[in-house]
Structure 1
Amino acid sequence: MSGPNRVLFDAPGPRARRRIRLATLLSVLLIAGLLALGLHQLARHGQLDRARWQPFGQWPYQRFLLQGLVRTLKAAGVAALLALPAGALLALGRLSPHRLTRLAAGGFVELFRSVPLLLVLYVFLMGIPRAGYTFPVFWELVIPVVLCTSALLAEVFRAGVLALDRGQSEAAHALGLSRRQVMRLVVLPQAVRLVVPTLVSQLVSLLKDTTLGYVVSYPELLNQGKVLGSYTHDFLQSYLTVTVVYIVANAALSQLAEALERRGRRRPAAGTPGTAGGASGVAPRLPGPREPKAAGGAGAEPLRPV
């Protein structure tokens, strides 16, 4: 049983569906058993005692973690605001008709796509200060994140541009628009609309990249959790609390990406019913050229010279 949506494999038959349900059931039971075993071991060692969790319900502890969350969101927000336009410019550079521009943009993208973010952080922490240049702690985290993230976003933007039909840009050129006008007015708006869900998903990774702020001693959320664990000597409780906060923040961004994707799907394309030609989607019938009536007939119009 195959169809247009069954590209990689056919739909499973009755026996295969029974095997899939059985494997799913066994997997759920195995995971539940491992979780129960883990909770049992934690309870045996007193890690689930109420006294260990009670401090994290008090406002001073919550405010301490909240301050770390605010710094994390600040670093991620500034990095996103800088990385998005930088990625778009790099994508345009890779699509430029000039060879030197393509080579420069491509070299930057390939370099920072290949180098780990942690290594770039160490360069800004220990390498650049030896040359006599120093940055504030905030920018020692943000600049490496921007460099690595912009390289990834450049490929996302470039994929969105290449995914568009070439007929649109050719039609725009036929109307007399320059290359810059075509890219700015026709190509980029549609490419951004195509890759918005991917961009938001990339922001989730950017938010997680800020956890490397401990390298430069930036007091982000994970670093605050580490300090709080050292103070209370309850590292497990502290890190689990931080984990829950990260899960909530990333889930919110993921929901935003899904909402934007659904909105893009609901938006009708040009030429579909309900867009042109009224609510019924039927284009109005245009009047054709007038035909002269029969010669000598009633109301016949005289022929005029062209």
Structure 2
Amino acid sequence: MTHVPTVTLNNGIEMPQLGFGVFQVPDEETTAAVGTALEAGYRSIDTAAAYGNEGGVGKALAASGLPREELFVTTKLWNADQGYDATLRAFDASLGKLGLDHVDLYLIHWPAPARDLYLDSWRAIERLVAEGRVRTAGVSNFQPAHLARLLDSSDLVPAVNQIELHPALQQRELRDLHARHSIVTEAWSPLAQGAVLEEPALREIAGRHGRSTAQVVLRWHLQLGNVVIPKSVTPARIRENIDVFGFELSAEEMAAITALDRGLRTGPDPDTLN
């Protein structure tokens, strides 16, 4: 079983640097996939209310027999549930489906700027943190302007911003802002949904190390200091994605991957998704 290193969040809590994502995994398949991931050594599981599979995650966690303190569970507040009271209700619903008494990380899923409720949602999350039901508060898909507004309005600095990030979309401005405020960058779609895996530069590096291109990309994320949450329902791929700690990329190889940035979004634009 692979041992995964951790990153220390701005509240002192340790978060595994590599976790397991369940985006677009049907609820009925989620329990088996998460069970396989836990057996392979993953201890961080990332879900969301919008994924419709919090129940499947909860069943896998319960069936694993693992102590709660060994697990790091993330879920997210959906756009339609933003606002102070609605956030509190949505969190209770998520907790019920997960079968837990707290989550380790709760994220506002999207800023949804036209709705203009994320500051109210954040106030509700501050309360959940104070009550001990959320160990760590964060955001997802927040752009620099959204983050700046949040930081101006609250003493609670998000511990994490989970954003689309991969070699073809590297978001340097946002990552620099995170670094200045001790916000951890967490990458969703870390492999660009496969869009970068045939890149000649990646294939060449993978051949040099006797690894897959996916493993090379995940290793690049880890060496940048990102938290990363690859997703798969294939047991062999689930195990391959966590087997990325036995090799290291050189400075030249890191630079070759960094040169692949082309501003390619595979998901929605956070400024327009509401």
| Pairwise TM-score range, normalised by the shorter structure | under 0.3
Greater relative CO, 1 or 2 (CA 8 Å, sep 6+):
2
TM-score after normalising by structure 1: 0.20
Where is the helix percentage greater, Structure 1 or Structure 2?
1
Where is the strand percentage greater, Structure 1 or Structure 2?
2
